[in-house]
Amino acid sequence: MLDILKETGFGSDLVSTLGVLGFFVVCIATWYVVRIYIKQMESDKADTSVPLCAENWDGIGEYENDIPNGWFAVFAILMVWAGWYWLAGYPLWSYSQIGEYNQEVSNYNKSFEKKWENMDNVTLVKMGEGVFIRNCAPCHGLTGDGMNGMAKNLTEWGNVAGIEYTIKNGSKGTNAYLTPEMPAGLVSDSKTAKDIAEYISAEITHAKLKEPAEDVASGKIAYEANCASCHGVDGHGNPTGDKLMAPDLTQYESANFIMNVLKTGKNGKIGGMPSFANKGTLNETQQKAVAEYVTVQLDGIKK
């Protein structure tokens, strides 16, 4: 018995000692109360003079008995104990291993950001490759091909084919926008879809790729008819309150677009990609590194 008490920390500090004593008190009190009620069930008879409550459940009523005084006493004791525990026994401002760990993580992240704040692009891409393999490859694949539709095929992202694919198949999007999902089939004609994609790539996106002038002109008309209502005529996304209706297409084909997805998360066809910023999984430098790696090594512009 003494060995068991030692393992619980009994006598090592005030909080542990009170915890162990409290355990025994609860056990004894539980045994005492159960014993009383068992005896009552064996001997007591229903007091028909006590009225029933107005409510009933499938014909089962409940007597208007007062709440037992013991309940109030136990509740009051628990409230007093809780106040003592938080303010004196183990104050919120006292040392804790979790607090120490959080502080160490915060300090490390600051030193990490400072160490790599001025790294060259080659080093940034190399860091992004490592972070991508660790955090992104399980769904997107080591080569970013999406693993047969498990996730977005990043090798087809960032070019006309990638935009055309989204126009035809839609996008699950993210809750960061007022229209979180773009439905498939907004444009049924393949030629029109391609023209829109070429217009977006040549006139709106960050890359400003050179596309056939005739297709760009036709695509502009189709874009304004089918896409501008959410993405805006200029592609910046129509603002509504504190949110945009749809993503800012001027940032497409750039690292900033990838970073925005990492921060907000994205809904997919088989599940959702969480926000890497809110969960603290990737710091700002790591997000920038992944975005640069995707745009330099994986996306369709470089293929």
Nearby residues of 257 by Cβ (< 8 Å), 6 or more positions away: 206, 247, 248, 251, 291
- Phi, psi (deg, nearest 5) at residue 158: 90, 15
pLDDT in the model for residue 11: 59
- CA–chain centroid gap for 56, Å, is 43
DSSP E strands in the chain: the ranges are 52-57, 60-63, 239-240, 243-244, 266-267, 272-273
Cβ atoms of 199 and 223 closer than 8 Å: yes
pLDDT one-digit tens code per residue, 83-99:
888 888 777 777 778 88
Mean pLDDT on 176-190: 86
pLDDT in the model for residue 290: 94
The tokens 């490859």 sit on which residue?
137
Kind of pairing between the strands at 272-273 and 266-267: antiparallel
pLDDT in the model for residue 222: 95
pLDDT in the model for residue 299: 65
Question: Is residue 191 scored above 90 in pLDDT?
Answer: yes
Distance between CA atoms of 183 and 180, rounded to whole angstroms?
10
pLDDT in the model for residue 302: 44
pLDDT band at 46 (very low <50, low <70, confident <90, very high): low
CA dihedral 233, 234, 236, 239 (to 10 degrees): -40
pTM: 0.64
Q: CA gyration radius for the chain? A: 32
Kind of pairing between the strands at 239-240 and 243-244: antiparallel
pLDDT one-digit tens code per residue, 199-244:
999 999 877 888 889 999 999 999 999 999 999 999 999 988 888 9
Which residue(s) pair with 272 in the sheet? 267
pLDDT in the model for residue 198: 93
> Structural domain boundaries of the chain?
122-302
pLDDT in the model for residue 47: 65
Q: What percent of the chain has pLDDT over 70?
A: 91
- CA–chain centroid gap for 286, Å, is 18
Cβ atoms of 235 and 241 closer than 8 Å: no
pLDDT one-digit tens code per residue, 250-289:
998 889 999 999 988 888 777 788 888 876 688 889 999 9
pLDDT in the model for residue 303: 39
Mean pLDDT on 6-18: 63
pLDDT in the model for residue 199: 94
| Mean pLDDT score across all residues of the chain | 85
Q: How far is CA 126 from CA 131, 139, 180, 280, 290, in A?
A: 9, 20, 33, 21, 9
DSSP string, 121-146: HHHHHHHHHHHHHHHTHHHH-TTSS-
pLDDT in the model for residue 9: 54
Higher-confidence residue of 11 and 237: namely: 237
pLDDT in the model for residue 301: 46
Handedness of CA 189, 194, 197, 202 (dihedral sign): negative
Question: Is residue 19 scored above 80 in pLDDT?
Answer: no
